[in-house]
Structure 1
Amino acid sequence: MKSEYNKDIYIRHFKEADIPALLNLIAQIASSEDLTKIAHIQFSNELASPDHEGSRFVATLDGLVVGTMGCARGPIPSSQALWADWLIVDSDYQRCGIASLLYSEIEKYAFERGKRYLCLDIGNIDKERAAYLFHLNNGFQIIGQLPDYWCDYEHLNIMAKFLTSRK
């Protein structure tokens, strides 16, 4: 896909050499926790586990990693679903269609493996309004909520999308 910079954006599977760039993307997330430590452990485990059910993709522009997204069995494993995680686009490259390209690849990956649903956890809908609206506009619905899960007024909102064929 051509970006607004008139350059091609490529989506590919991630590799070990991408981890530092992915951690830099994750460092852009405002959080009281050090999410880079959590992510580094997760990404390393994904690469080290030969039986990992899922995949992680990166978006590149001129060889620079500008986005990432993965999917896996998730916290509530099911033969019918994969859980999407870590959808992050570099703040300098947002609103260029990169997140939609990553989602398209994840959905294709899940559908080709016979999954019927793609699920995710979106945090506080008010604080994460853009992410919430993005997911709604891309066919996701809130299917459950655990109030005060993360802390007071920080709910766990579970969203899901029914996957259809990508012809």
Structure 2
Amino acid sequence: MSDKLVTFDPLEDANLNVPAEMVAEMAKGIEDPVEIARRFGFKGARWDALVQWKPFLDAVQKKRAELEAEGWTFRAKAGLLAEMMLDDIGKIGLSSEVPLMQKLALTEALVKWKEPKQSATAQQGTGFSITINLPDTSKPREIDITPSKPLVE
């Protein structure tokens, strides 16, 4: 028997390759981590090894911090709360006690919320811009069209 210390790298020995999408799903915290892991093929010993692997835990924490900094976490929570309240808002809006103008405002808001917003980068595109400066047309301009040479000699 050897007196050498044997190291064990669970990722190397279990052949664990963690997809970036899985790290993002874990960081979002919406679903149970075990279910996310199963969906990506991590079960039993592979999952047990992964959940204890510091680089994986650090990657999830880093992604979670990125999502919070980008405002994703707040928007996700706000969306979830809005969805939970939607049935109640609908019932209130359908009530005969609500004035017509409030019903109209609610209807307009619901239609607006239904349409996905386009990001500014999606509207602008990348790397190309056209600017057209139109002259001030509030004052009429005269254009002299007198020929410099007579047309007929």
Please classify the TM superposition score into its range, dividing by the shorter chain length. under 0.3
User: How does the TM-score come out when normalised to structure 2?
Assistant: 0.22
Which structure has the greater CA radius of gyration?
2
The structure in which a higher percent of residues are helix is 2
